[in-house]
């Protein structure tokens, strides 16, 4: 009888302590985060959709997609969208290449490797204002770089008031975000077994063959995540650009967030929300395309 009763008791115990019983407790612990997400993200997001379809935030009337058409036909919005796309198209691939190259180097036995790792992570913990102050001193009209050009016999360059401003912002974006990507890529590199490289060396595979056949192949999940975060980060360079060039920067670095900030300052909430949702749709579409590309690439190598 005891042998028949024990299985029943153990089955009842597993049922009482199973995942169904942990559900309410999990929701209780998640409740503060869910409430905060709803208050500060979900509800404002839905409210913004409402305001983008009205002609005024106070006692407004429904105008449908008129605000979206007006924003889309705006020359300043199109300029900002093109500049943002150009920045992301150049900055993100450059950031990935630089981060991967440095991560591969730091994954080897190099002298002072720990110090180099710390140096690349420092931009993540330094306040943005301090970072921008350094770049202002470097690229100011009377800054260090122009002093070097003058001493070398070249004419000084007005970096932030010319087309070179785009290169400055891209360089600052890569410098600011490379450390985060390097940390993630180093973690991915250290999960690749060393036996794979030893076996490939025995079979006669060179360094390039090992890099493309082993390193890149097993770094696909990490590279995909790093790419997504880099794309999202490319739409968040407003703080650095604003602090360096002000509200109305050179045309080459006039981004979507500059446009939305100017709409906010002019209290044009309809255009502000409409531009924000157009940008959100663009980011979502780009992320979906990256997911599709990642899925197809994984199927092709399996």
Burial 55-84 (b: 16+ CB within 10 A, else e): eeeeeeeebeeebbeebeebeebebbbebb
Place 21 in a pLDDT band, splitting at 50, 70 and 90: low
The pLDDT of residue 16 is 43
Task: Give residue-wise pLDDT tens across range 28-57.
Answer: 888 889 899 888 888 888 888 888 888 877
Lowest mean pLDDT among 112-116, 202-206, 276-280: 112-116
The pLDDT of residue 300 is 66
Q: Flag whether pLDDT at 142 surpasses 70.
A: yes
Select the more confidently predicted residue: 58 or 301: 58
Task: Give residue-wise pLDDT tens across range 189-222.
Answer: 888 888 888 888 888 878 888 888 888 888 888 9
Residue tagged 């401003």 (tokens): 165
The pLDDT of residue 266 is 84
All domains in the chain, ordered by first residue:
4-52 (no CATH), 67-301 (1.10.3720.10)
Select the more confidently predicted residue: 17 or 279: 279
Mean pLDDT computed over 92-100: 93
Place 301 in a pLDDT band, splitting at 50, 70 and 90: low
The mean pLDDT of the chain is 82
The pLDDT of residue 9 is 47
The pLDDT of residue 96 is 93
Are the CB atoms for 130 and 172 separated by under 8 Å?
Answer: no
Place 7 in a pLDDT band, splitting at 50, 70 and 90: very low
Could you tell me what percent of the chain has a pLDDT over 70?
91
The pLDDT of residue 108 is 80
Query: How far apart (Å, rounded) are the C-alpha atoms in residues 201 and 249?
Result: 53
Q: Flag whether pLDDT at 1 surpasses 70.
A: no
């Amino acid at each position: 009888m005891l042998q028949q009763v024990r299985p029943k008791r153990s089955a009842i115990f597993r049922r009482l302590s199973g995942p169904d019983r942990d559900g309410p407790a999990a929701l209780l612990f998640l409740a503060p985060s869910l409430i905060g997400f709803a208050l500060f993200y979900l509800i404002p997001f839905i409210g913004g959709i409402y305001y983008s379809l009205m002609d005024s935030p106070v006692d407004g009337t429904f105008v449908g997609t008129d605000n979206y058409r007006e924003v889309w036909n705006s020359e300043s919005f199109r300029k900002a969208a093109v500049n943002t796309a150009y920045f992301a198209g150049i900055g993100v691939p450059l950031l990935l290449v630089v981060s991967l190259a440095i991560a591969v180097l730091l994954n080897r036995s190099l002298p002072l490797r720990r110090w180099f790792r710390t140096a690349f992570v420092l931009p993540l913990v330094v306040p943005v204002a301090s970072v921008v102050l350094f770049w202002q001193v470097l690229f100011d009209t009377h800054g260090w770089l122009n002093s070097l050009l003058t001493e070398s016999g070249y004419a000084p360059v007005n970096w932030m008031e010319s087309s070179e401003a785009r290169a400055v912002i891209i360089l600052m974006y890569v410098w600011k975000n490379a450390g985060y990507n390097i940390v993630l890529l180093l973690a991915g590199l250290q999960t690749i077994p060393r036996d794979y490289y030893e076996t490939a060396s025995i079979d006669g595979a060179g360094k390039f063959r090992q890099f493309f056949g082993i390193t890149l192949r097993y770094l696909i999940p990490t590279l995909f995540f790093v790419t997504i975060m880099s794309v999202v980060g490319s739409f968040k360079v407003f703080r650095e650009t604003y602090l360096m060039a002000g509200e109305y920067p050179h045309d080459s670095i006039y981004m979507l967030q500059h446009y939305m900030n100017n709409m906010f300052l002019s209290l044009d909430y309809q255009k502000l929300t409409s531009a924000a949702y157009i940008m959100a749709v663009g980011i979502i579409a780009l992320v979906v395309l990256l997911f599709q590309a990642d899925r197809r690439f994984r199927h092709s190598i399996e």
